[in-house]
Structures are given as structure tokens and as C-alpha cells.
Structure 1
Amino acid sequence: MYLKVTLPQLKKITLPDFVVTGFLLASIYLVLRVGLSWQEVAMPAMEIDLSFSSLPRYALFSVSRAFIAIFLSLIFSIAYGTWAASSAKAERWLIPVLDILQSIPVLGFLPGLAIAMITLFPNSRFGLEVVSIVMIFTSQVWNMTFSIYYSIKQAPPVLKEVTQVCRLGRLRTFLLGELPFGMIPLVWNAMMSMAGGWFFLMICESFALRGKDFRLPGIGSYMSVAISQGNIQAIIGGALIMLVIILLLEVFVWRPLLSWASRFKWEEFTGKTMPEVFMYRLLKRSPLLDKIMDQALKVLNRVIDVFEKNSDLETSEKKQGGFLKIITVLAAIALLTGCLVGSWKLIALLLMLNGEAWVLVFSHAFLTALRVFVAIFLASLWTIPVGALIGFFPRLTRIAQPLVQVAAAFPTPMLFPLIVLALHWLGIGLGLGSTLLLMTAVQWYLLFNIIAGASSIPQNLKEVGQTYGLSKTAWIKKVIFPALFPFLVTGWTTAAGGAWNASIVAEYVHYKGGVFVTDGLGALMSQAAEQSNSAMLAASLVVMILAVVGLNKVCWKKLATVAEKKYSLGE
């Protein structure tokens, strides 16, 4: 079956059409340019040109990796989060697995993945590119997945009732009901995910393995080399190009997306919404984009029809049931076998460590845990009031959101050496300084979720205080805080996982051939990775996973249950 696409006539082409066409052509060039570069011969210690003229080319490579990773993160988040929220049986397995995956730092994925990809693609850069993209993916995907999961779990009962009355299939229920309800927090968390990718950009593009340095052309490698050489001019140049990238993404991607997502705010009547930004208004006036979207929606509707028609055929289910069961059993056996083999090899590694080494690991983990809690507490003190204020007023959101996005998206590890030098000059050691560095990482998880929560509060709920004559204190306590609480839980959960991950760069800072280090699990892991100490790296990784998962079970999961049962919108 062929789709007939009717493009606008020449006389109807407008300025927005030129913008859309330019974007499509630029995207095609980007795909071709990056694709060709992946075929180049891989060189472990690639020379990085620190001249300013190389920055645009490096920026192109870094942005392409970030967008590939965010696209993969979106697909994974929707599939995984929806499955976990829709099936009680699956939820019992998927959420603990998600907790474990979130707790694994970027370095935890590096050794095995890098060795496998370099072995599979020894004569091209493709393997290293896959390693870099997957590592960026692991720094982006988890908070987006939690956002989808919590949005579906906290969807108002009336939303589910409407989809049942309209007899919508499972796929249309998600696309027309659950996904729009969670669109605002999803977009905000996607912005945070992109910022998370920038945060670990240096590690993802430049890393050491088995005594060899591997680098990919990009801003992360550029900054890594500039920092190792103590080249202040290059560091400033790299920081400035990062600001340019962030500002361009802000204008052309995130602000239009937020403006579009605000139309899905859940409320009984139309209240104040975020004003439409210029780029969003421009794209709305493009007949060419309308044509493209119409054709895409037609294709999507046909795919949904086929999917739901096949899913409703009981005879088909009976015919395929036996085959699907066999496939499921075989997949489960293969997965179980892989887990057993991997567990056995991991245990063998851990047994190589003596009691003294384990005491070192746990004592360092305790110190990092203290820093994580202090960093989250300090970040909560200012993000809750500021985030609520920004998200509560659409006009203020429009003014403050670009500033927040720029500040959050900038990869502060690029400036960690300069910050540590300043703290050292003030007489503050890295023990306390690393807590402040952690706070720079976790505060944005909280702020983005709080702004998303405040932006999602229906207008009629905002006006409850005036209707019943509540004081400001009572209004905040009985209306605003309960409405924000589910988003706070999401922010605390992802911030905790992000803080443990960030400890690997906050407790172990390179500068000009030297290292600033303090006792902590992140520093221990960074040292083990650099020295190729597999046993110590495995022990640190296991303890970090246990710490994050244990805290999720003991603390964050209980708060999430309270949010779902007591503060879910529509209850």
C-alpha cells in the first residue's frame, strides 16, 4: 500500500515552510556527515585540536550523539514505563530492575561495553561511537522512564473511565490519554536528561581502559584535553561553545516543545497557559509541516488499527499462544543462564578482595552517602520555593525557564577543576567541596520536576484558596504542597541516583596532570577504573547499587506510594 503525499503548491510556500525545509536539509546533512565519520579508522589516542576553529566540528559530533541518545531514551522510557505502570505482575520485576540500572554509574557500563564494541569493530570508529552513545543514554534515560511510570500511575480515575466509555484500545488509551497527561513532566525530564548527558560528556567521549586512552572528536574530548593540559584559553573556548549549543537548543527545541506541551495541562476549564513562543508560532503557520504531520498521523492510525485489530482476534491469540509461550520460555532460560554466568564471574571477582579492602569500600560508601543526603537537603531548600514560584505563573515560566535550562544544561564537570582551585584558595578541602559539587548536579533534577509539577496544577485548583478564603500558609499546606508532592518524589528519586553517579567526578577531579581526590565511593571507583582494578571496581559498583536500591526501597518507594494513594490528582 502506497501513501499519496500532496505537497503545497509553490505559491503557498511561506517563511515557516522555508524554516522547516532548512531544518530537514540540515538534518540530512548531519546524518550523512556523522555517518561518514563513523567509518573512519579508530585511533585510541586520537589527537584533539585545541584551536577554536575545530570547535564547530566537535560541537556537531557531540550534539549528534546527544540527540541519538535522547531518541533512544524516549523509546525506551515509553515502552518500559508504560509496561511497568500497566501490569502489576511486570511492575514487581521491572521497577526493582530500573532501580538497579539507575544506580549503575556511567563507568559501570564502560569496561565490558567498550571491550565488546572494540572487538566487534576493530577497524572503524563505529564501535567507539556506540560505546559513547550508550554511555550518554545511560545518563539520560532513567529519570524519563520514572516520569512516564509515575504519570501513568497517578493519572486521574476519570481519565481511565473516559477511555473505557469511548472503547479505546490499549494503544490509543496511552496515546490519547496517558501520554498527554504526562507530557509536561516528560518534556521537563527530557530537558533534564539532555543536561545529564552533557554532565558526563567528558567521560563518554574520552576514557581510559587497560592503560590506553580512547578519544572521540567532540566537545567532551576537547575539554578533557584542555583540562589535562591546564589550557585556560581552551577551557573558556569550550565553555563558550557549550553555552552556544545550549542556547540554540533552548530556542529551537525546548521552548517550542514546552509551549506545545502546555496544551495538555489537566484541568476542567481553560485557564492561563504558557504563552506561545515565536518558534512555535512560526512552525504552526507552516503548510508543509501540516502536510508532513497529517501523513504521519495517517500512517500512525493505520498502524494502530492493525495492531489493535490483531490483538482483539481471539483465534489468532489461540494459534500464536503456544508459539509465544515457547519463545518466552526460551528467552527466560537464556536470560537466567546469562544472569547465573555473570553472577558467578562477579562473585569470583569479589572474592579476590580481602576484609581490609571491603572495610575500605564500605567506609567510603558511608562518606558518599552523607554527601548525597546533604546535597539533596541543601538543594531542596531553594528549589522547592523557587521551582513552585516559576511553574505557578506561566509568564514567569517563560522568562525564567531559559535561564534555568541554560544553567542546568551546562556540564559543570568542565568547570570542576576551576571550582576546586577556588575552594582550595578559600581553604575549603574537597571533602566539603565535593558536597557542593554534588549539589550542582542534583539541584536540577529537583528544580525541573518542581517546575513541571507547578506548571501542571489546574487553574481551578489554584483558585481554591480564594474560593474558601484560605490563608497563604493553609493554601500552600493543603493545596500546593499536595499537588507538588508526586513531582517532588520523582525529583528526589532521580536526584539521589544522579548524586551517586556524579560522585565519580565530584570526588576525583583531574587538572593539569594532577588529581584532587577525597575519600568516597566515587573516587574509589574512578581510581579502580583508571588502574584497571576489576575487583575493586566490581566491589564499588555492587555497593553503590545496593545503596541506591536500598534507599529506594526504604525511603523513596514509600514516599511514592504515599504520593500515589494520597496526593494523586483527581482522587
Structure 2
Amino acid sequence: MKSTATQLGAAQIKRTFSWVDVIVLLGVFGLLWTILHFGRGMVIQFDENQSPAISTDIRSIPYYAGRTVLRMWLAFVFSLLFTFSVGYAAAKSRAARAVILPALDILQSVPVLGFLSITVTGFMALFPGSLLGVECASIFAIFTGQVWNMAFGFYHSLVTIPKDLQEAATNFRLSLWQRFGTLEVPSSMHSLIWNSMMSFGGGWFFVAQSEAITVLNKNIKLPGLGSFMATAVENGDNTAAVWAIVAMLVVIIASDQLIWRPLLAWADKFKIELVESGDAPKSWLYTFLRRVYIFKWIDEKISGPLSDASIRLKKALARLEIIPAHSRGAAGRWVSRLLFGMLALWVVYQMIVGVMAAAHAVYDHVSWHQFLRLCFLGLLTMGRVATMTILATLVWTPIGVWIASKPNVARFAQPFAQIAASFPVNMTFPFVVGFFVAAHISINWGSIVLIAMGTQWYILFNVIAGAMAIPNDLKEAATTYGLHGWSLWRTLILPAIFPFWVTGACTAAGGAWNASIVAELATWGHTTLKAEGLGAYIAEVTQKGDTPMIICSIAVMCIFVVITNKLLWRRLYEHAEKRFHLD
């Protein structure tokens, strides 16, 4: 990890309380008040026969934006917890990896509408008479739009940690928590932040679906920017649609300035290189927060003493030797294995029951002719997904490498790329549908553009992350050997970014299947354009509430995605891990 004399010198400067700490404390209390203010609306009474009315008055936009942002960040927190636990288990246990990776492949392929169809009724039953049930379903839907890319990216980062660092951690006899906190999370931080940015954008992409829930003959709209936009789309209200777009742009830019850019500047110290890079990411907020003393005071006066007391208590209990140390370790392992086994059996049992019930419903109501028709529609959608992935790779790989090589450009390109990645495709319908109609462009081809608008950015973000993660000493070595042009790309750039590209392309392809549900059935007011494909079919049967066909069509989509992942992406992951591993 990087450690420079400048950083050490800055750390030695003695600081005391100042006006900066007052501003930060006011900001923290303001944030807590904001969370409580918008959170109160999540627990009001609710009657599913009388959904909350959504106003398209622009004066309601600030409140709706706050409700949406709260849902997005709650979903992100759960996504982060899932990423750390599941990604870590997959990287550390071969048995867990054999279950987790295929499960993630399947879950990634399930459309957001599929999760909503399954969870809305369950969450509403869990919180009867309260809006919290629908809020939980909405947050869970946003969670499913964020989490898979983060989990795959974290897993990939863990399995590609340089061996010399792993051996050093072993030689220092670091505990699991110490190893996790001092090696594994810092080593994956750069990739994790970029994937988090992309995943947060993925949540925005499906925010309209998650807030304007139209499944199983239910039409429920939660207060938020997504439902505001959905109502504007239904009414053909161009003014409201434009204001919703402006509000979303403001929120995304604020997130970039207040969250992502400071995190990138902070994470630069975890970059693995022997020679410090000349241009580091900069953030005005990170520079400001480095002057804060209150956090250091809390660490010295509260957290530090509590941690020391905990260590002393642990040592005192260990000296009692009530149970021999080797017995405690063995007993703990057996108890954890027993609990894990019981949990796994319960999950498997519930899955078998659910699959059997779904299979019975499909068998009774779906004919072979309908199933073959679904497979044909799946092939059409797969062709669009493949076309998008290839074109996005050819276009965004050189652009992403160029952006990463120019820190000044990256500072300006990052928010624009994040805005584009976060832009819900249905917000383009006022312009795209009209353009397709005026230009006589078939939606069968135009849907490829709509799919790309929501998913090509996974490739761009991962390529940027991979190129920025190239150690500066390798860049200097390439310069010393006179590498340039294609020889530089072939020997340094492509091998360095390939593992990141695999993560981005795999997630983009998986996200494209999900995006096809929105892109293949574009509606604006009374105008509807429908492409022949599995995505449009799923959107139609979901709105009708045809449960057997919902199950069958989603199952067909899952089969296509899982087969593609097994035959293509999994092999590319293994190739990247074996061939392009930095040691």
C-alpha cells in the first residue's frame, strides 16, 4: 500500500477543535434529522385498494427525491453487507463457492419485476396495514439492481490479491478479522468503490419499476422520483418529465461530489504500487474532512479505550482456561458447521417446495408450444444482448483507458459517466419513442440502443477501474522498454484490464437481460412500441398477473443467462484468475 513522506508529515500535524468540526457536527445532525423526516413516511397506514396519490406538481419533487434517495441508500447498505459476507465466503471456501457463484448467476438473471412479483405480497403480509411492507419490497427490488455487480467484483478482487501480500499476512499471523480489515478490504477498495458507483446507478435504472409497482394486478405507487416519472410517462406530461430528469441529475451530481469522489480520493492510498503515481484523485470535500479533529478525538478518547478494554477482557477470559483452547476451537468449528448445515438444509427445503409449486403451476397451464415460443423470444433477446456487449466493448474500452490515464479528464468524465449510467431508460421515452416513430426505426433494432443506454456503463466503469489500478511502476517499466501503441496494449493494458473487463461485461450482459423488459416495451402516453423478445413478453404477463407465464418466462430467461455464464463468463473468470494474476 502507498505510504509517502508527505502523508506521514501531514499525519504528525497537531490539530485541535475548530469551526470545521462545528460544521461537520451540524452536518451529521442534519443528516440524522433528514433520515428521520423522510423515514416517517415509510411507516404510515396503507390500504392496498387505495394507493397513495402521486402528484406531478413540481413543488413535491424535493420530498419525492428525499424518499427515493433514502430507499437507494438503505438498499445500498444491505448490498454492501451482502457483498462482504457472500463475496468473502465464495472466495474463501471451495464448497461455498460451488453454491454461491451459480446462485448469483441465477439471481442476477432474475428480472426486477420477477423479484417484485414474488416479494410484494409477502412483505405486505409481513407488515399488514402499513406502507412499510411495500417500502421493503421496493428497497429489495433496488437491492437486486445493485448487489450482483458488487458481489462479483468483491469476489474477483479477493481471489486476485497478490500472493506476496497473502504470505505476509500469514507470516504476521493475522487473525481473520485483521486480515479482512488490513489486507482484503483495502486491496479490493478501488474496485469496490467503482463497482458501488456503477451498482448505485443500476439502482437508479430500475427506480421507476421499484416505486411504481404494477404486478399481479396490483398498481401501487410509492412517493418518489420513480413514481413521479412513471406518472408523468402515463399522462404524457413533458413538463413534469423534464423536471424529474433535472431533479435526478441534481441528486446524482450531489452524490458524486459528496460521496463517490471523496471515497475515490481516500481509496487512492490503498493502490498497490512501488512507485507513487504523479496524479492522485482529488476531492474538495475529502480535503476539507482531513482537517476535522472530532473523529480523531472520538477514536483516541472513546473507541481506543473501549477496544483496549475489550482486548484485556478477552485475554483475562482466555487465562481462566475453563475450556482448553484446542477444545474451544474444535467446538466452535463444529457448532458453526452444524448451524450452517441446518440453515442450508432449511434453505434447500424451502427452495424445493417453491420450485415444486412453481413447476406444478407451469405444467398445468403452459403448453409445449408456448414454451418453445418463449425459447424463440429468448434467442431474439440474446442476440440484442450479445450485440450490445460487443459494441460497448469496442467503443468504451479505449475510451475508458484514455479517461483513466488522464486524471484531469477523469474528474470531469466521472460524474457524466455516472449520470449516463444512472439514467433510467424510461426517462428517455419522451424523446426516443418520438424519434423512432419519426425516423421509422423499428423498435426491434432500436431496443438495442435502449438496452445499451442502461448497461454499457458497467463495461466503461470496470475498464476505468482496471486501468487506474495498473501499478505506476509497471507503467514506468513499459516506458523504459519503449512500449507504445499496440505493443503497449498487448503486453500491459489488455492483460491488466482483462479481469476487470470480464466483471463488467458479465454484469452488463446480465443487466441487459433485465433492461430488455423496459427496452423492448416502450410506452409514452398513448404510444406504445413493442419489440419481439422475451423482455417485452415478461412485461406484458407481469402487468396481467398471469402467474404461470410469469414463472415460465422468467425461468426461460434464467436458463439463457445461466448457460451463457457457465459456458462463457465463468471460463473467462478462470482464465483471468490464472493468466492475469498480479504477483
Shorter chain as normaliser: what TM range? Answer: over 0.9
Q: Structure 1 residue 201: deviation in Å?
A: 0.4
SS of the aligned residue for 1:213 comes to strand
Displacement after TM superposition at 1:391 (Å): 1.1
Partner Cα distance (1:490, 1:322) in 2: 35
Larger mean Cα displacement after TM superposition, 444-453 or 25-34: 25-34
* Structure 1 residues 209 and 468, CA gap change in structure 2 (3 angstroms): closer
Contact 2:212 2:220 survives alignment (8 Å): yes
Equivalent position to 1:548, from 515, 540, 561: 561
| 1:411 CA drift (Å) | 2.2
In the superposition, the TM-score normalised over structure 1's length comes to 0.94
Query: Which of 392, 410, 414 matches 1:401?
Result: 414
Change in CA separation of 1:434 and 1:465 when aligned onto 2, cut-off 3 Å: same
Alpha-carbon distance in 2 for matches of 1:387, 1:356: 45
Indicate the percent of aligned positions where both proteins have the same amino acid. 35
* Alpha carbons of structure 1 residues 392 and 77: separation in structure 2 relative to 1, 3 Å: same
How far did 1:413 drift?
2.3
Query: Is the contact made by 2:38 and 2:67 (CA closer than 8 Å) also made in structure 1?
Result: yes
Residues 349, 292 of structure 1: alpha-carbon distance in 2 compared, 3 angstrom cutoff = farther
1:495 aligns with 2:508: yes
Q: Does 1:28 align with 2:32?
A: yes
Identify the match of residue 463 of structure 2 among 450, 457, 476: 450
Post-superposition CA distance 1:426-480 (Å, at most 9, x none) = 1101101100111111211001000100110011111222211224221111111
**Conserved in 2, the CA contact under 8 Å of 1:108 and 1:541?**
yes
Q: Counterpart of 1:202?
A: 208
**Which of the numbers 122, 141, 145 marks the counterpart of 2:151?**
145
Residue by residue over 1:217-237, the C-alpha shift from the partner in whole angstroms, topping out at 9 and shown as x without a partner, is 000000000110000000001
Q: Which amino acid aligns with 1:118?
A: M
Distance in 1, Cα, partners of 2:228 & 2:573: 41
Q: What CA distance in whole angstroms lies between the structure 1 residues aligned with 2:441 and 2:495?
A: 39
- 1:158 paired with 2:157, answer no
Q: Offset at 1:176?
A: 0.8
1:43: how far off? 4.2
**Structure 2 Cα separation of the partners of residues 567 and 500 of structure 1:** 28
Unaligned runs of 5+ in 1: 1-10
Q: CA deviation at 1:418?
A: 2.4
Indicate if the aligned counterparts of 1:222 and 1:238 stay in contact, CA closer than 8 A: yes
State whether structure 2 residue 443 is matched by structure 1 residue 437.
Answer: no
| SS in structure 2 of the partner of residue 504 of structure 1 | helix
Distance 1:317 1:492 in 2: 42
- Count of aligned positions: 560
User: Aligned partners of 2:308, 2:526: CA distance in 1, in Å?
Assistant: 58
Residues of 1 paired with 2:564 and 2:146: CA distance? 21
Residue type matched to 2:36 in 1?
Answer: L
Q: Distance in 2 between matches of 1:353 and 1:147?
A: 38
Matches within 5 A, 1:15-414: 15-44=19-48, 45-292=51-298, 295=302, 313-320=325-332, 323-351=335-363, 352-414=365-427
For 1:321 and 1:188, the matched residues in 2 are separated by 36
1:8 corresponding residue in structure 2: none
Which residue is equivalent to 2:435?
Answer: 422
Of 498-507 and 469-478, the range deviating more from structure 2: 469-478
Q: Secondary structure at the match of 1:182?
A: helix
Partner SS, residue 522 of structure 2: strand
CA distance in 2, matches of 1:95, 1:27: 37
SS in structure 2 at match of 1:463:
helix
State the AA in 2 paired with 1:246. Answer: I
| Structure 2 residues without counterparts, runs of 5 or longer | 1-14
How far the C-alpha of 1:524 sits from its partner, in A, is: 0.7
1:39-88 Cα offsets, whole Å, 9 max, x none, are 21124432111111100000000000000011110111011111101112
Q: 2:425–2:519: 8 Å Cα contact kept in structure 1? A: no
Distance 1:245 1:564, change over 3 A: same
What displacement does 1:322 show?
5.1
Q: What does residue 4 of structure 1 align with?
A: none
Write the mapping of 1:1-20 to structure 2, written as runs, cut at 5 A: 12-20=16-24
What is the aligned partner in structure 2 of residue 521 from structure 1? 534
Deviation by residue 1:477-516 (Cα, 9 ceiling, x = unmatched): 1111101111011111111111001011001122214432
Find the aligned partners of 1:492 and 1:275 in 2 and give their Cα distance.
Answer: 25
CA distance in 2: counterparts of 1:262 and 1:67, whole angstroms: 23
Give a deviation string over 1:82-121, Cα, whole Å, max 9, x none: 1101112211111111111111110111122100111222
**1:389-441 CA-partner distances (Å, limit 9, x unpaired):** 11123232223222222222222322234212212211101101100111111
Q: Which residue in 2 is equivalent to 1:5?
A: none
CA positional deviation for 1:32: 1.5
- TM (norm. structure 2) is 0.92
Say if 2:258 and 2:285, in contact at 8 Å, map to a contact too.
yes
* Superimposed CA distance per residue, residues 122-178 of structure 1 (whole angstroms, 9 cap, x where no aligned partner): 211110110010000000000000111000111111110111121111221121112
